[in-house]
Structure 1
Amino acid sequence: MHKALTPSSIAAPFGAYSHGIASAPAGQVIVTSGQLGLAPDGTCPEGVKAQAEQCFANIDAILQEAGATRDTVVRVSGFVTAREDFPTYMAVRDAWLADVTVKPASTLLIVTGFTREEFKVEVEVTAVVPA
């Protein structure tokens, strides 16, 4: 399916991700909007862990709607509002990817905020379903 690109000439990834991904020939590319920690009823849980879990649950729903799985994800972009939330977000992301054989490329940015004060995490992914 996808191939991890992790050259031995650069430092190894310091988390559960690949430096790059070579995708299989694409049959369908899926790009999500940034998902916030909003539950189906519009509520937002408190705390980074619960919000990150909801972000990834939302992404699972989008992937499922497209007939895709976590194994088709080639890139994860995460955004948190505080540096101290980095380990919590990473733990949730790593748990979400635990059964994925080829870990996607991943970026995490620390941002000053989102559209509403209670939002602490946002996640978007790109997936490639092989032809």
Structure 2
Amino acid sequence: MKSLAPPSIAPPFARYSHGVEVPPDWRIVRTSGQLALGSEGVVPAGTEDQATLCFANVDAILAEAGMASSDVFHVSAFVTDRAHMAGYMAARDAYFAGREVLPSSTLMIVSGFTRPEFTVEVEVWAAAP
């Protein structure tokens, strides 16, 4: 994959790429939005912990396709308040730590999710040969 960073636009606000080019003929996986619900039905209290669980759920989906976090080329996240952005971004940065090519990223503030205790939702696009 190749990061796209045109010099004619401002650099990204955080650790992400403005765009990512996927080579031709690669397999693509797109996850549904993952909420912080573990297999035991418990929702962590803090946004960073919730986002970490969302990324763990993403990992399980990618593994089923023979992929890993290193194959993610785009991440979309939704938080219920600006106050939750820092926790999400800490989990996102930890998840993508050490990457040479960072994924593109979208982060939106939304009014809520299916249950009031959820503060973040994460979905990704991944590609691999």
TM-score using structure 1 length: 0.95
Q: Partners in 2 of 1:101 and 1:64 — Cα distance?
A: 21
**Alpha-carbon displacement from aligned partner over 1:25-65 (angstroms, at most 9, x marks no partner):** 23311010000001111111111011001000100111111
List 4+ stretches of structure 1 deviating above 3 A.
none
Name the Cα RMSD after superposition.
0.9
Partner of 1:92, secondary structure, is helix
Partner of 1:75: 74
Match of 1:38 in 2: 37
Letter in 1 for 2:40: D
Aligned residues: 129
What's 2:120 paired with? 121
Normalised by the length of structure 2, the TM-score is 0.96
Gaps of 5+ in 2: none
Percent identity over the alignment? Answer: 53
The answer to whether the aligner puts 1:105 opposite 2:104 as a matched pair is yes
State the distance in 2 between where 1:124 and 1:3 align.
20
